[in-house]
Structures are given as structure tokens and as C-alpha cells.
Amino acid sequence: MLAAHLERHLRSWQGPDPLKPLGLATGRTMEPLYRTLVERLLSWSADELEALRARWCSFNLDEYLGLSADDPRGYRAYMTHHLAAPLGLPASAVHLPDSTAADGAVAARRYGEQLSCCGGIGLQLLGLGSNGHVGFNEPPCPPDQHCHAVELTPATRQQNAVLFDNCVEAVPLRAITLGLWEILEAAEIHLVVTGAAKAGILKRLLDLTEPDPALPASWLLTHPNVWLWCDAAALV
């Protein structure tokens, strides 16, 4: 179970070794995972939880541009609801790109530099987009692209419209995302794929023997420590 693996990883933060941040993702795929993880972590002792809060450091993959910081449709609100508030995490330790930035390119560069100063990702969670994207790295995508601002494709905006009252026109046109460079630098990567709607793109990914820039997730084939977590529906 991935939640159990994450709990063990977080327990290792109690030790003396320097920490590397968690790389977190959003979306419906992650909601059951965060719910189970919160339940497990809240069973810790008060001292253990306090130590976890004191050492917590996470960086989210991406965030929309053009939303206010408190917009309930943004990923900061998502992380607050599903993880930070239930665990009592300090907001300053849960990092996301600046959704209000006037210059997305500058904000993306600063976010990438901030992550680099923290040592890069230790454990990265990823979902799989319907067009094979990870984060908001849209196809075609090179493996050496750093954190950047991106124009969202129609397919991605359609997929995410559920968060915007199923109104595609309300989905922001642009976002900031960690690039494949930051993702592939993570010590370990966990790709989570659930539901029949993802079966086709998952099959395309699993049928590949080498990376294809038209399917950004395929660059994970070059990483030495990738875990795939999927349900039966996604494997149909």
C-alpha cells in the first residue's frame, strides 16, 4: 500500500539524516491516498506528530496561473483541505508555485531555484494525464526541461474542467509546473494510475520500451527507482 510506504518514509524524517522534500501531486487520483495517509499519521503520538510538523517540507508539482491564492479551485486550497489542515502542517512548509504571478516565467524560475536550495525531491508522487502528461508537462516534452510556465492543451483543460463546474472555458489557460528535469532528479518516483479512463494511456506507456517525447510519462523509463501503483480498472 502506497500510504504505508509514505508513512515509513516520513518516519525516516525522525532520524538525523538531512531531509529531501516530498514532491506532491493533486487530482482525484490522490484523494484516497491522502485520506489514508492522514488517518495513519494521526495515529502517531503527539510528540511524533509535532516532530513531523517541525520537519515537514513539500513541493507541489504544479499550480494554475491566474487564480487568487485562496481560490478553492486552486491546488493550494486542495493541499490545505486534503493534507495541511488535517495534519496541522505549517503553511510555510507546503510549497506551491505562485498562482498570482504576473510573469509566469519568472515565478517558475524562482520556484525551481527554491526547490534546488532545499536539495531537490526525495520522493515524488505523480498522476498520469489522459494525454500522458505528468505535472503539466504537455507533449511533446524533453527530459531536460526545468520548472516552467506552460500553455495547457485543450485535452488537459477538458480533463480538469470537473473542478470548474465542468466549464472548460473557466479552466485557466496557463500553469507553472516542475519540469521533467526536477521530476527525474527525485530519488524515488511513485506513479499512481486509477480508473478505466486511464487504461488506454497506461497501456500505451507500458507497451513502450524507450521514451517517446509524445508521451511525457515515458521518460520515467530512464529512472532507476520508479514504482507503479494502479487498480484493476486501469489495467483493463
Residue 37 belongs to what H/E stretch?
helix 31-41
Q: Does the active-site annotation cover 148?
A: no
The residue segments making up the domain with residue 136 are 2-235
Q: Does the active-site annotation cover 138?
A: yes
The confidence band for 1, taking pLDDT boundaries of 50, 70 and 90, is confident
- Kindly name the residue from 82, 95, 133, 190 that is annotated as catalytic: 133
Strand, helix or coil for residue 173:
coil
- Kindly name the residue from 98, 138, 182, 212 that is annotated as catalytic: 138
Whether 155 has a pLDDT exceeding 90, the answer reads: no
Q: Where are the alpha helices (DSSP H) in 42-189?
A: 46-55, 75-79, 85-87, 104-117, 154-160, 180-184
pLDDT of residue 18: 60
CATH of the domain at 116: 3.40.50.1360
Q: Does the active-site annotation cover 62?
A: yes
| Type of residue at 172 | P
Number of domains in the chain: 1
List, for residues 4-58, the tens digit of each pLDDT value. 999 999 998 876 666 799 999 999 999 999 999 999 999 999 999 999 999 999 9
The confidence band for 159, taking pLDDT boundaries of 50, 70 and 90, is confident
- Kindly name the residue from 60, 62, 95, 190 that is annotated as catalytic: 62
Going by C-alpha positions, the residue among 175, 132, 133 that lies closest to residue 150 is: 175
- Kindly name the residue from 5, 7, 71, 131 that is annotated as catalytic: 131
